[in-house]
Structure 1
């Protein structure tokens, strides 16, 4: 029994193998002649059946859309801080005791307004002495010149010359005394807003001591960093849009005034300065700003993201022409949502495969399942 089973299984296996061979490669000529048919006809029968089935399924169903060109808006967002465009720190030019102040924090001052006065009694006395000496020398010069004009020989040319030199020295001493007296009064060098100060009447200041800061906040100078990839956005006079959490929803305008000529070796960014007009005085020096710059590119072909396919040579899109497709390489420039801006050697208005592109091969036949109006539509 075991021997019969083995023979049966062997015959069954040979039959299956022979059938598979005949289906795949056709029936041998000798066997076909025994069966009363040609090998070619026998072999062509299953192949023709398969070819007919492939012919029915060869066309790929895709969705097409027209190739359009649109501008892309480059947007750079960064943060920065600002200082007053015109600012100064007022310091004491001389030592002395404070006898009068007009330092009100956040108060507005005009250029030349008195901020404080130091004890100036010594300087006033020095000025009086210098003026008295000048007057005395002036009288001598006047008397000598009168004598000489009357033809008197009492006053020599040397004496008159020395008197005139003495007068010049006396006038210079008066000027020095006046400067020393003026230095006892500290005035605002610019117009602006006063900062906090701890100087009060009775304090004694040394030369060079800080008194108060003045900020002219009618214009601010914002400083921020721009990454290397966005250097092309930088031009002097370019508009920047500024916002701050302090005034939610409000946009302030400014323009670039200067930027660095080299990149930071660590951050790979360039430092940029922009002037921000602040006529209402709402913005304060030291605020942190969100800064935005925009620029529109030239029109570029734009396609749906689903239209992009990849192979060893890179990205590409499929163009449908007269029911068949061909692949066109593209260079991706920008992405935004489900849209991709590309550079491609393809005419605008061409029908491109928006969906179903992953199934395509060069020369593949396609049928249109639907149409899309455009990328992102």
Structure 2
């Protein structure tokens, strides 16, 4: 019996010691008699410009893109370009029954020159009094018709030689050697990727801020940790009835052509700026009955302070009233923290 009584006394003493060293609430003390302090992380309040962004999804396109098509039926005789290859404006990318198209073009050039010379000659004869206005008009009509024929022949020749009107990169090659193609079939798709054009849909509620066309931040899905600078250049003055939003165009420099057409991106546009403002991490704001609260540390004690919040971003909240410069706000360790509790700031 005496042995059991001793064991009970030892257990009671041990539990009493634990109760004195455990906890963190107000009034709790350690074995040495000193009050325990709850560890917290803090941020010192500073005034700065608080920026509110809107974030939207967009798809990358080259600053200029063109799809070449065949104007006449024919057989692919040669192919000079491949997908991913760089090409220059005026360069031939393939030949499709090119001899026929070239001869037709040369004949059209000659016909236009002869028609122009005839018109000019009739004008001189009319001035000398040896011609009639009717003949001049007929010659003028023939010249205009020859110009139209020349434009058509040039288009067919450019198509037969797959001449690109822009410099850039071959995105898609639709043809292979010895393919038989028909008029209207695509041959190549070319894009100037030196600059990327992004078009995003901005909701009506945000368009007032975007209209100032401030800078943009762009993150492409293929480069998740890299930030690209963008420049908003224009926005549609009319709302899309399908999405009930306004389209905004953003340009991104792409000198190394590492961004490809069709890649998706997240675009952040500046909506509003609040100069000389106080903002804190949103996780530091507690929502309770009666309003919003934060904990401010003064002389090692956490004080609960009511604040009036304003706009917010993804991570921070604007504080309109309740905080001042150099206040020390608790940002981590708020769980079960109470007003007047002793705290220790983590370094």
Query: What interval of TM-score do these two structures reach, taking the shorter chain for normalisation?
Result: 0.5 to 0.7
1:113 maps to 2:91: yes
Q: TM-score of the superposition, structure 2-length normalised?
A: 0.58
Alignment-derived partner of residue 286 in structure 1: 262
CA distance 1:202–1:159, shift in 2 (3 Å):
farther
Give the superposition deviation at 1:89. 1.9
CA offsets 1:1-46 (integer angstroms, 9 cap, x no match): xxxxxxxxxxxxxxxxxxxxxxxxxxxxxxxxxxxxxxxxxxxxxx
Alignment-derived partner of residue 233 in structure 2: 257
1:81 maps to 2:59: yes
* One of 151, 166, 185 as aligned partner of 1:179: 151
CA distance 1:225–1:159, shift in 2 (3 Å):
closer
Whose helix proportion is higher, 1 or 2?
1
Instruction: Tell me the SS of whatever aligns to 2:82.
Output: coil
Cα distance in 2 for residues equivalent to 1:262 and 1:165: 47
Question: Larger deviation: 130-139 or 106-115?
Answer: 130-139
Alignment-derived partner of residue 90 in structure 1: 68
Alignment-derived partner of residue 214 in structure 1: 190
RMSD: 5.4
CA distance 1:315–1:100, shift in 2 (3 Å):
same
CA distance 1:371–1:220, shift in 2 (3 Å):
same
Equivalent runs, 1:12-27 vs 2, <5 Å:
none
- Checking the alignment, whether the CA contact within 8 Å between 1:242 and 1:254 is kept in structure 2 is no
Equivalent runs, 1:1-377 vs 2, <5 Å:
68-71=45-48, 74=52, 78-92=56-70, 94-98=71-75, 101-106=78-83, 107-115=85-93, 116=95, 117=98, 119-120=100-101, 121=103, 157=129, 159=131, 164-165=136-137, 167-169=139-141, 171-172=143-144, 174-186=146-158, 187-194=163-170, 195-198=172-175, 203-206=180-183, 208-225=184-201, 234=210, 235-245=212-222, 247=223, 249-259=225-235, 271-292=247-268, 297=274, 298-300=276-278, 302=280, 308=286, 310-311=288-289, 313-316=290-293, 329-333=306-310, 334=312, 342-345=319-322, 348=325, 369=342
Give the number of the structure whose alpha-carbon radius of gyration is greater: 1
Query: Which runs of no fewer than 5 residues in structure 2 stay unpaired?
Result: 1-26, 28-35
How many pairs align? 294
Cα distance in 1 for residues equivalent to 2:56 and 2:112: 62
Cα distance in 2 for residues equivalent to 1:132 and 1:351: 88
Cα distance in 2 for residues equivalent to 1:254 and 1:293: 9
Cα distance in 2 for residues equivalent to 1:320 and 1:108: 62
